[in-house]
Structure 1
Amino acid sequence: MEMVDGEIENDYINFKRIVPIYSETEGLHQRTLRRLMKNILDGYADELRSPIPQEIVRGKDLIEFQEAFRRVHFPPDEESMEDLNLYRSDGHRRIIFDELFFLELGLAMKRRGAALKKGISFRTDGYLPEKLLKQLPFQLTSSQKRVLAEIKEDMEKPHPMNRLIQGDVGSGKTMVALLACLYGVECGYQAAIMVPTEVLAEQHYLNLHQWVEPLGVRVALLTSSIRSSEKEDLYRQIRQGDIQMVIGTHAVIQEAVQFHRLGVAIIDEQHKFGVVQRGLLKKKGAEPDILVMTATPIPRTLAMSIYGDLDVSLIEELPAGRMPVKTKVFHESTRGKVYRILEEEVRKGRQAFIVYPLVEESEKLDLRDASRMAEHLQKQVFPEFRIGLLHGRMKCDEKEAIMMEFKEGKIQILVATTVIEVGIDIPNASVMVVEHAERFGLSQLHQLRGRIGRGSYPSHCLLLAQSRSSEEARARLRAMERTTDGFQIAEEDLILRGPGEFFGIRQSGLPDFRIAHVIRDARILEEARREAFQLVQEDPELEHPLGLKEMLISRWRGRLELANIG
């Protein structure tokens, strides 16, 4: 029995049986919701159909679709309460399998469609990449060499490359991407690298420019901050093919940008772009090779299941000589100790970041902000050191000047917002202080930490948090102290945030999940993937059973390239 609003429920639906607990809406109580659901299932459950082939249903020992809904809402008395609450009942298993099967079926169809397209076959001796490698002051890691070989093999094939590079922060993904661009440039094509922030675009441009211009390759930076007159000139040079590599933000996919012969498109930090934006970059060329990169690593089997239409490469090792970063959580009462650690490092000749969640003071949030604190730190705390300020609202040339001064060591302490989250490479920086660390996500904290420890010096990541943080925030901070392994961090983040937010399901173009969870249901996900890919191999037009193709289109809500489906 269950007590509801002070009454004992004593009718047939609720008395002495396992009953579901629904999320309540004002004016609708549990008794009413259960009666409504009972009436709906009695009247319409038999109309529920799943077009998954019966041989798959029988082979996986799944119950019928209609029965699954009945058992989930009104379980038989012998059903285990634990299995129901952990989504392990036969009813849950069938519904979860259906959700994940249609996810994987869509990915299998997208992969098949890509394989049928005619792309560019890049046949090259690789003299430009080789020339660059000879002038670099470091060697590629064995992981980088393996991934580069996988990319070169893809680029030589007659259909477009669609490859995902996974690697922890600082593993050297950008260098691999640059070498891939040079394969394309060597064959007479252009390359584009799209990144999420202007600061990252500028950082990439400064590095790549100095590496490839001596090879005779012209590189341009394209962001929304560039003056209109300069943009027009850049557009003309890109259109005529005078510029071989373009590095930029969303500005790269503006209608005014027309490439002469785009052959390679790189998307950095791909989870920060929506599927539409990625599609727009692809359309800038005639089936260019696509390489997407992420520093939010996930287990390989999971990556293959979620990014199933992409080939997955993994850069597993960091460059030689990197020192591990020590991470420690501090509270307001120990702020003095944090400042002392920072000061000691700067006195040794090292540099430091201090990161804030806000640019300016907010009336709604009682948080320290970068602008005010930069002034306070310069006048009251570290008057003998030069402090710089960097945030996303600054003009392009201002940001570039600050970054250059920090890189050259003229600025000892850089106060910044999360614009420095990705791609900033300052080997001399050995300290990072993150203010209000409880406000940041786990993957974001790990990305920020990746800005230090890039040289041969021991480094410190100091997380300043409010003592009255939520349990979830404390769990994130404990994880940061416990490990520097990006894969462990990502897995914990996936568990804490859930798959929808972690993968950006809504902007990724993947179907939404109602009850499936890619970590909890990883085994079912792999089963669904095997069955879906096998089905597409045997029936590439999805002609049997009737309604399967229509259900696939409905589940993906038009987000599949339907031309691939026939």
Structure 2
Amino acid sequence: MDFSIREIKGIGLRKEKLFARLGIMTIADLLQYFPREYEDRNHVLPIGQVEIPSDTPVLICGKVGTIQEVRPRRSMTILKVVISDNSGSAELIWFNQPYRKRFFSKGQILSAFGKMEWAYGHRQMNAPEVENGLVQPGGFVPVYGLTEGLYQADVRNAMREALHFAAEHGDVLPDSIPTDEYAQYRYMPNLAAYENMHFPQHMKQQEQARKQLAFAELFDMQLGLLLRRQHARMAAGIKCGPNGSLLRQLVHQLPFTLTKGQIKAFLDIQNDMEGEVPMQRLIQGDVGSGKTVVAAMALAKIVENGYQGALMAPTEILAVQHYEEFCRLFKGCPLRVALLTGRTTGKERAVILQELKEGTVQILIGTHALIQEDVDFFDLGLVVTDEQHRFGVKQRAALQNKGRSPHTLYMTATPIPRTLTLSIYGDLDVSSIHEMPPGRKIVKTYAVGEAMRKRIYRFLEKNMAQGRQCYIVCPLVEESETVDLQAATALYEQLRTTVFSNRSCGLVHGRMSGKDKEAVMEAFQKGDIQLLVATSVIEVGVNVPNAAVILVDGAERFGLAQLHQLRGRVGRSNIQSYCILLSAKGSEETKQRLHWMETIHDGFILAEKDLLLRGSGHLFGYVQHGLPDLKAADIIRDVSILMNARESAAAFLQSPVDEEYVLRILKRRFGRHFDGLLNN
């Protein structure tokens, strides 16, 4: 049963709203909101013996002496509370928090946890965490992610009350499906596992609890993914015949030789399409690895078997790009390719819809316009979704539902490590293309400091003088589209009116209307704009072969995956291209990240590095794939647990299963994400 957090002591309407900001609505949500770290409070130190300054927070206890509120100026208050023990005394300081004064009284025993420093002749702790009474040494205190208005004490107190509530009411925590494999991770009762995740006495207990809960979580997620796959395979698929003349003509007139990776990916697709069940396959390949040609081959195969194919792209400019590419690839072939986007209106749209319904349009390429109600196919046999993570689960399903269990092919240019592939795409077969087409040159990448800015601008000017085009990506200022837009607009105006006043410049950002953004990108694609200034919203997959240089300003603010995607905007022809990463001095991690960008050009290797640097959680946007974020599991540490959980889930489904019971368990665990987990 889903109990609201209002059921527990101390949660009123105000705190309910604050917890909701963290995605916590029920007691189960709260109990699965695990600490991000733990503070070791196993030792109370005598105040006079604390090293100053203390590099890490320390725990002290003492009796309250003086309580003083100082107002050095009208807009500032300083609260000073002095506590002392037999070894010395320390001032506890809070700025602009006068309400705290009422919590303290002279003679009170107080525990304080924080970093100690020396200031104005006193030992001081600035804004420590305090508790009334003498804290008993022992245990680790949880530290949670917060939102404005919510404090660590609020979450800890709520968590203690939630655990107490769970002990009394029982039916609060997510159930686990019992399996033989789970027994090896079953260190303690379920409630005890949650208690040790939040308030462990020893970190060994916490790790045992985490492994136990991680296995249950991964098992349930894999069970959901395998059920989704099982449901898809229950439908009667379109069994295609051997490759025919249309496919042979397409391959024969290709102006290049297919790479080994492209051939292997198509053989995987061919086997699927000639099988008994609908294909569910993902092609992942680096930017420019030739996924579109493989998709064209799959579409040719479905057409020569008497069915129609559809390709859906996330933006109009990408859809147009695919349409133009397909027209070139299929030139002279006996089939009709059509384009349907939001701009396709009136008579043109009516003709396309009629021909689609009659079957004379065999391949339809478009945007979300493909899933509108009045778009009817004669017999849809293959659905291809480009950059599929850009579409919602329901959007992808809506296109598939326009056919009778059509084959489905997804494409992504975001390389994903194998371990995450298992968790995100556990219901799909995956083909990876690693090679680049012949003639493509590696994009030379340089990480430089601010002192090089003028030289970089001269380098951009030199390339534009040679007829090339350039990108400048503005720094990600903060998690605010408004602030990022202001930074981009300011840089654009500065460059347009000074450094590059002799060049045609354009600006694109996320706050522009789709129509305006398309217009700018189209002008850049045609060569009417030489220098494009942009925020990080540059469309993935946009193909401008003449673009030779991309400058990423403030590169230290971007992750590896994002930097690699940005680098993929250039190097799309045989022109030598360059990626310049301009950054301020950063941490060792930043230096390492930029060094990897300079030396590694394989997106799959960079994805593994990115995972190591940033951890799992929602690194790859599970919600975009219709999946919930992981709570206890960590894909980096838990590869073996993931493998065991997947094998265990597969074995579980081989035995007689009460599917209603399983669905109830999954609904209970994953809540509002459940539909995304089971429905594609």
Q: Which has the higher mean CA deviation after the structures are superposed, 293-302 or 311-320?
A: 293-302
Q: Is the 8 A contact 1:191 1:262 kept in 2?
A: yes
Q: 1:226 to 1:335 in 2, by over 3 A?
A: farther
Task: Specify which of 601, 608, 622 is matched with residue 491 of structure 1.
Answer: 608
The answer to whether the 8 A contact 1:162-1:311 is kept is: yes
Deviation of the 1:243 alpha carbon: 1.5
Which range moved further: 30-39 or 508-517?
A: 30-39
Match of 1:193 in 2: 311
Name 2:393's counterpart in structure 1: 275
- d(CA) in 1 for partners of 2:676, 2:596: 42
Alpha carbons of structure 1 residues 430 and 536: separation in structure 2 relative to 1, 3 Å: same
Deviations 1:136-181 (A, max 9, x none): 2211101110110110110011211000111111111111111111
For 1:29 and 1:418, the matched residues in 2 are separated by 37
Evaluate the alpha carbon distance shift between residue 202 and residue 348 of structure 1 in structure 2; reply closer, same or farther with a 3 A threshold.
same
Residue 43 of structure 2 is aligned to residue 43 of structure 1: no
Q: CA, structure 1 residues 66+197, in 2 after alignment: closer, same or farther (shift >3 Å)?
A: same
CA distance in 2, matches of 1:139, 1:212: 16
Q: Which residue, out of 424, 435, 438, partners 1:320? A: 438
The match for 2:665 is 551
Deviations 1:499-554 (A, max 9, x none): 453332223222342222222322211111111111112235558xxx44421233
Q: Quick one: which of 264, 270, 278 aligns to 1:152? A: 270
What residue number does 1:539 align with?
656
Structure 2 equivalent of residue 530 of structure 1 = 647
What is the letter of the counterpart of residue 526 of structure 2?
A: E
1:69 matches 2:187: no
* Structure 1 contact 9–15 (Cα < 8 Å) conserved: no
Number of aligned positions between the proteins: 545
Matched, 1:429 2:543: no
Aligned 8 A contact 1:421 1:448 in 2: no
User: Hey, what does 2:119 align to over in structure 1?
Assistant: none
Q: Which amino acid aligns with 2:178?
A: P
Tell me the CA shift for residue 56 of structure 1. 2.4
1:8 deviates by 6.0
Equivalence map 1:193-212=2 (5 Å): 193-212=311-330
Deviations 1:471-524 (A, max 9, x none): 987775454334222123323444555545333222322234222222232221
Q: Secondary structure at the match of 2:233?
A: helix
2:526 to 394, 405, 411: 405
The whole-number CA distance in structure 2 between the counterparts of 1:317 and 1:16 is 58
Indicate which of 440, 456, 480 corresponds to 2:597: 480
Higher relative contact order (CA 8 A, sep 6+): 1
Structure 1 segment 363-512 matched on structure 2, within 5 A: 364-365=483-484, 367-369=486-488, 377=495, 380-382=498-500, 385=503, 387=505, 393=513, 394=515, 398=519, 402=523, 405-406=526-527, 412-415=530-533, 420-438=538-556, 440-465=558-583, 467=584, 477-495=594-612, 499-512=616-629
C-alpha separation in 2, matches of 1:109 and 1:401? 43
* Alignment root-mean-square deviation, CA: 3.5
Q: 1:40 to 1:93 in 2, by over 3 A?
A: same
Contact 2:474 2:488 in 1 (8 A): yes
Q: How does 1:512-523 map to 2 (within 5 A)?
A: 512-523=629-640
Aligned partners of 2:388 and 2:412 also within 8 Å: yes
Match of 1:295 among 413, 416, 422: 413
Provide closer, same or farther for how the CA distance between residues 228 and 337 of structure 1 changes in structure 2, counting only shifts above 3 A. farther
What is the CA-CA distance between 1:387 and the residue it aligns to? 4.9
The CA distance in 2 between the partners of 1:268 and 1:333, in whole Å, is: 40
CA distance in 2, matches of 1:302, 1:30: 31
Judge conservation of contact 1:390–1:402 (CA < 8 Å) in 2: no
Structure 1 residue corresponding to 2:213, chosen from 86, 91, 95:
95
> Alpha-carbon deviations, 1:280-307, whole Å to 9, x = none?
1111111111001111112224312321
Shift of 1:66: 3.2
2:355 alignment partner AA: Q
| Distance (whole Å) between structure 2 residues aligned to residue 69 and residue 401 of structure 1 | 54
Q: For the structure 1 residues 36 and 144, does the alpha-carbon distance in structure 2 shift closer, same or farther, using more than 3 Å as the test? A: same
Q: Structure 1 residue 402: deviation in Å?
A: 2.2
User: Structure 1 residue 254: deviation in Å?
Assistant: 1.5
- Identify if the C-alpha distance between structure 1 residues 294 and 562 changes in structure 2 by more than 3 Å, giving closer, same or farther: closer
Paired letter, 1:433: L
Which has the larger displacement, 153-162 or 19-28? Answer: 19-28
Rounded to whole Å, the distance in 2 between the matches of 1:451 and 1:219 is 27
Match of 1:128 in 2: 246
Gaps of at least 5 residues in structure 1 are none
Q: What is the distance in 1 between the residues matched to 2:616 and 2:362?
A: 38
Larger CA deviation: 454-463 vs 44-53: 44-53
- For 2:484 and 2:521, the matched residues in 1 are separated by 30
Which letter does structure 1 place at the counterpart of 2:141? Answer: P
In structure 2, what residue type is equivalent to 1:20?
A: V
| Residues 151/513 of structure 1: CA separation in 2 closer, same or farther (3 Å cut) | same
Percentage of matched positions with identical amino acids: 41
Q: Give the 3 Å change call, closer, same or farther, for CA 58–493 of structure 1 in structure 2.
A: same
Inter-partner Cα distance in structure 1 for 2:330 and 2:468: 29
> Does structure 1 residue 55 correspond to structure 2 residue 180?
yes
Distance 2:460 2:376 in 1: 47
CA distance in 1, matches of 2:172, 2:532: 63
Which is greater in Rg? 2
Aligned 8 A contact 1:302 1:522 in 2:
no
In structure 2, the partner of 1:15 is 136
Per mean C-alpha deviation after superposition, the further-off stretch among 440-449 and 373-382 is: 373-382
* Alpha-carbon offset, residue 194 of structure 1: 1.0
What SS does the aligned partner of 2:142 have? coil
Quick one: distance in 1 between partners of 2:213 and 2:156? Answer: 24
**Contact 1:21/1:30, CA 8 A, preserved across alignment:** no
Deviation at 1:412, TM superposition (A): 4.5
| SS of structure 2 residue aligned to 1:215 | coil
What corresponds to 1:171 in structure 2? 289
Show CA shifts across 1:369-424 (max 9, x none). Answer: 36x76676566434555556667644698468525533xxx764445565643223
Once the two structures are superposed, residues 347-385 of structure 1 have per-residue CA deviations (whole angstroms, 9 ceiling, x without a partner) of 445433334579xx9874474436x76676566434555
TM-score by length of 2: 0.72
Q: Is the 8 A contact 2:193 2:213 kept in 1?
A: yes
Q: Give 1 or 2: higher strand fraction.
A: 2
* Structure (1 or 2) with the greater helix fraction: 1
Q: After superposition, where does 1:181-260 map in structure 2 within 5 Å?
A: 181-260=299-378
Distance 1:151 1:552 in 2: 31
